């Protein structure tokens, strides 16, 4: 059967099992939208801004593991998608972005809504394709999906000139059954010599730490990690991107490490004799000063990406491959050497860690305070959300203090439940990503923990939630200022609060969300927190926006001391280790 | 690398993105495949005339950064192989690097 370029494109997506496509129409994408109109297998979600489309697709991808798909038009449609593409790139999230382009004969003429999208997006995509003729559309889509979802995952862009989707030109359509790209061959299984060296080091270690990041989640290696821990009984810390891959409530869990990580996680890393890095990339929010990082530790680095290993911290042993496959091999090896594994030897190390935990660990009982004379602590608000949602919700967040409080105080027991922009730190991510999660899991609780600064960066998506009936629950940790910036100004600029306040011009959030047909709840007292949050969660079919006024003076602690080692932490205002 | 539109820009762009400097650059299509037979053998592929280009870049960096540059270039989808005086990276296969 012969079909046109626009139908080839849409049928190719359907062949890839795409359920939702997030987008916004415009001139160069009109033929494609006509093809969407003529089919039933895939639903298009019309957002209110292209940034929202990319974050929604991203949230869908993080929650499901399947690639999120975005469709935008040329020029401003494409450039509006840039922030969301960069967000997905930094966190290695599989995404397909299709951008319309002006007609082939107009390219390079500064035509209406023309932008060199391939050029603009080059540093923030894993790969990109320009469609050159209709006969290649199916092959390009198949290659794009293959690249986005294999190796170290990431966004792939397909730029398609309008004339190549013209409904009048017909071509044969057959979707490729498999894809092989000769210049692309990411490692899957590790090599034997790497594995046996890693196993030797694990067995010999007396002060080990497993440091698991986002790559452990994208490789779906949570089960293998839990099995590894069962065999070895090692303490585990997670990066911001890795939360949930190991149970947050497990006794061997140290909490998050890094800039705002727990005292015990950072101390354990600093004093370790062995660090087992799983799909984590030692970024600057983890290591603090690299030359002072974990001075006595041997490093085993598991990664699918060669260029991540020994980029910041030199690895002593490198294990290349998908984390899942590598851990399966490691676990099998360890089982054959069971009699050499000595749990007793680790007891002093576990005791030391518990001592650190008891000394300066986080207080998880702040929510028990119902005293209305003191302001609401943002940490307590997150603890209430955790309690009322029984720790089972998908939680998306934006960027800033509320994000760190959510990461510290909501304990994730399962991977893919914590959805946040770790690498790029994109404000505006929370609400649209929650939409993507809710579409993927309509029967699950989906919570967005945000702040009054971040939420206003993509607040237009409240309208999309109304259109598609997406009853996400938004908890706005409202401190009436850009809290994290303010914290840095308090600590590094003698409290000169430059451009962080908009207190007198904040909207009435309750009135605002009601104008979209949603429900708003305002909370200003500790005694209202529990019931207010419970009520929001009980309204199953409604988007509820809970505006929680918290103590504007609160800071996030612990916090790494700039250019220090992992043991150099601020523990409170003016209080250092 | 594959002789495809945009492939050169990806390599050059990578140098800028990662803060590496290019001292000189030379690119042309490969006509004599004899020195590259080992790549064909290792990857199980066969080059045709006009399909692949050789790019020569001169840059002045230390060993560790050189290794990082090679690995970053090797990651580009259209790059088939990359080498310096000591190491050669083929897609998915590493030769000669004194690896860890």
* Of A283, A309, A278, residue with least CA distance to A216: A278
Query: Stretch B11-39: mean pLDDT, rounded?
Result: 92
Backbone angles phi, psi at B2, to 5 degrees: -65, 140
Catalytic residue check, A484: yes
Catalytic residue check, A298: no
Dig out the tokens for B53 from the structure.
Answer: 């280009």
Q: Which of B18, B76, B77 to mutate to test the interface with A (most CBs of A within 10 A)?
A: B77
Handedness of CA A224, A230, A232, A236 (dihedral sign): positive
Cis peptide before A448 (omega within 30 of 0): no
Bridge-partner residues for A170, per DSSP?
Answer: A4
Work out how many CB contacts closer than 8 A connect A with B.
Answer: 54
- Return the pLDDT at B93: 64
- Return the pLDDT at A359: 97
pLDDT digits (tens, 9 = 90+) for A385-407: 999 999 999 999 999 999 999 99
Model confidence at B95, pLDDT cuts 50, 70, 90, reads: low
Say how far apart CA B15 and CA B22 lie, in whole Å.
Answer: 7
pLDDT digits (tens, 9 = 90+) for A277-321: 999 999 999 999 999 999 999 999 999 999 999 999 999 999 999
- Return the pLDDT at B94: 60
The answer to whether A147 contacts B72, with C-beta atoms less than 8 Å apart, is no
Out of A50, A224, A452, A461, the active site residue is A50
Nearest to A185 among B2, B92, B100 (CB): B92
DSSP A115-141: --HHHHHGGG-SEEEE---GGGHHHHH
Catalytic residue check, A43: no
Quick check: A428 and A82 in contact, CB under 8 A?
no
The answer to whether B72 contacts A123, with C-beta atoms less than 8 Å apart, is no
The answer to whether A182 contacts B1, with C-beta atoms less than 8 Å apart, is no
Per-residue CA distances from A380 to A359, A477, A549, A555 (Å): 20, 11, 12, 13
Quick check: A523 and A532 in contact, CB under 8 A?
yes
Helix axes A401-409, A378-388, angle to 10 degrees: 50
Say how far apart CA A161 and CA A104 lie, in whole Å.
Answer: 6
The contacts of residue A120 (CB under 8 Å, 6+ apart) are A78, A79, A82
Say how far apart CA B14 and CA A121 lie, in whole Å.
Answer: 13
How many angstroms from the chain centroid is the CA of residue A158? 23
- Return the pLDDT at B43: 85
* Of B78, B86, B95, B84, residue with least CA distance to B39: B95
Catalytic residue check, A112: yes
The answer, yes or no, to whether residue B92 has pLDDT greater than 70, is: no
* Of A241, A263, A527, A510, residue with least CA distance to A384: A527
Say how far apart CA B40 and CA B30 lie, in whole Å.
Answer: 13
Quick check: A362 and A380 in contact, CB under 8 A?
no
- Return the pLDDT at A5: 98
Cβ contacts of A305 on chain B, cutoff 8 Å: 75
The contacts of residue A420 (CB under 8 Å, 6+ apart) are A240, A396, A397, A398, A399, A403, A406, A407, A429, A430
DSSP A310-340: TSSS--SEEEES-HHHHHHHHHHHHHHTGGG
Say how far apart CA A277 and CA A126 lie, in whole Å.
Answer: 23
Q: For the whole model, what pTM was predicted?
A: 0.97
Say how far apart CA A281 and CA A278 lie, in whole Å.
Answer: 9
Model confidence at B91, pLDDT cuts 50, 70, 90, reads: confident
Q: B49 in contact with A at a CB cutoff of 8 Å?
A: no
The answer to whether A128 contacts B1, with C-beta atoms less than 8 Å apart, is no
Bridge-partner residues for A300, per DSSP?
Answer: A276, A317
- Return the pLDDT at B98: 44
Chain A nearest C-alpha distance from B68 (Å): 6
Out of A114, A145, A162, A293, the active site residue is A162
- Return the pLDDT at A537: 98
Helices (H), A272-390: 284-287, 323-336, 347-360, 378-388
The answer to whether B13 contacts A184, with C-beta atoms less than 8 Å apart, is no
Say how far apart CA A134 and CA A453 lie, in whole Å.
Answer: 45
- Return the pLDDT at B99: 45
Q: A136 in contact with B at a CB cutoff of 8 Å?
A: no
Q: What percent of chain A has pLDDT over 70?
A: 100
Q: Which of B75, B79, B87, B97 to mutate to test the interface with A (most CBs of A within 10 A)?
A: B75
State which residues of chain A have pLDDT below 70. none
The answer to whether B91 contacts A184, with C-beta atoms less than 8 Å apart, is yes
The answer to whether A130 contacts B5, with C-beta atoms less than 8 Å apart, is yes
Model confidence at B2, pLDDT cuts 50, 70, 90, reads: very high
- Return the pLDDT at B42: 85
Q: Helix (H, G, I), strand (E, B), or coil: what is residue B47?
A: coil
Say how far apart CA A486 and CA A376 lie, in whole Å.
Answer: 18
């Amino acid at each position: 059967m012969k079909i046109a370029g626009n139908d080839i494109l849409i049928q190719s997506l359907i062949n890839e099992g795409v359920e939702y496509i997030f987008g916004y129409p415009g001139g160069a994408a009109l033929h494609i939208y006509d093809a969407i109109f003529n089919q039933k297998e895939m639903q298009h979600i019309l957002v209110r801004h292209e940034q929202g489309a990319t974050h929604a697709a991203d949230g869908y991808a993080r929650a499901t593991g399947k690639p999120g798909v975005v469709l935008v038009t040329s020029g401003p449609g494409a450039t509006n998608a840039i922030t969301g593409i960069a967000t997905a790139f930094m966190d290695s999230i599989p995404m397909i972005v299709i951008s319309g382009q002006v007609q082939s004969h107009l390219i390079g003429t500064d035509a209406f809504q023309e932008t060199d999208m391939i050029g603009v997006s080059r540093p923030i995509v894993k790969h990109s394709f320009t469609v050159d003729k209709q006969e290649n559309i199916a092959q390009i889509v198949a290659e794009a999906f293959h690249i986005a979802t294999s190796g170290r995952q990431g966004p792939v862009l397909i730029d398609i000139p309008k004339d190549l989707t013209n409904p009048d030109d017909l071509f044969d359509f057959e979707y490729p059954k498999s894809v092989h790209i000769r210049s692309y061959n990411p490692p899957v299984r590790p090599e034997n010599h790497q594995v046996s060296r890693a196993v030797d080091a694990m067995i010999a270690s007396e002060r080990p730490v497993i440091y698991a990041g986002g790559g452990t989640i994208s490789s779906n290696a949570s089960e293998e990690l839990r099995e590894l821990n069962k065999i070895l009984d090692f303490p585990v810390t997670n990066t911001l991107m890795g939360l949930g891959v190991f149970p947050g409530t497990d006794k061997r869990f140290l909490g998050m490490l890094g800039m705002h990580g727990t005292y015990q996680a950072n101390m354990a890393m600093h004093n370790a004799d062995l660090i087992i890095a799983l799909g984590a990339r030692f970024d600057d929010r983890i290591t603090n000063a690299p030359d002072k990082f974990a001075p006595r530790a041997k490093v085993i680095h598991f990664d699918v990406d060669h260029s991540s290993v020994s980029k910041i911290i030199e690895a002593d042993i490198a294990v290349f491959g998908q984390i899942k496959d590598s851990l399966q091999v490691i676990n099998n090896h360890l089982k054959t050497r069971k009699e050499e594994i000595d749990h007793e030897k680790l007891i002093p190390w576990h005791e030391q860690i518990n001592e650190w935990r008891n000394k300066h660990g986080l207080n998880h009982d702040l929510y028990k305070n119902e005293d209305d004379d003191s302001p609401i602590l943002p940490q307590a608000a997150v603890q209430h959300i955790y309690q009322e949602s029984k720790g089972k919700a998908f939680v998306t967040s934006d960027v800033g203090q509320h994000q760190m409080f959510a990461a510290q105080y909501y304990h994730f027991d399962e991977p893919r439940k914590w959805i946040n922009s770790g690498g790029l730190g994109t404000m505006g991510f929370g609400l649209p990503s929650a939409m993507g999660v809710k579409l993927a899991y309509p029967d699950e609780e989906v919570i967005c923990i945000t702040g009054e600064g971040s939420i206003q960066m993509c607040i237009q998506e409240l309208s999309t939630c109304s259109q598609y009936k997406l009853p996400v629950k938004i908890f706005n940790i409202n401190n009436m200022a850009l809290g994290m910036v303010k914290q840095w100004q308090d600590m590094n600029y003698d409290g000169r609060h430059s451009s962080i306040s908009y207190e007198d011009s904040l909207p009435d959030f309750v009135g605002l969300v009601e104008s979209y047909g949603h429900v708003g709840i305002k909370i200003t007292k500790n005694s209202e927190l529990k019931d207010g949050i419970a009520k929001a969660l009980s309204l199953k079919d409604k988007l509820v926006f809970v505006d929680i006024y918290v103590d504007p003076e609160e800071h996030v602690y612990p916090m790494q001391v700039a250019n220090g080692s992992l043991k150099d932490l601020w523990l409170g205002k003016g209080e250092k280790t | 690398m594959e002789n495809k539109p945009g492939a050169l820009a990806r390599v050059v762009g990578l140098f800028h993105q990662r803060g590496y400097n290019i001292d000189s650059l030379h690119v042309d299509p490969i006509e004599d495949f004899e020195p590259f037979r080992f790549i064909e053998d290792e990857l199980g592929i066969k080059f045709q005339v006009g399909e692949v280009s050789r790019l020569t870049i001169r840059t002045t960096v230390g060993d560790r950064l050189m290794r990082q540059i090679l690995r970053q270039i090797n990651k580009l989808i259209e790059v088939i192989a990359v080498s310096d005086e000591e190491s050669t990276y083929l897609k998915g296969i590493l030769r000669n690097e004194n690896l860890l």
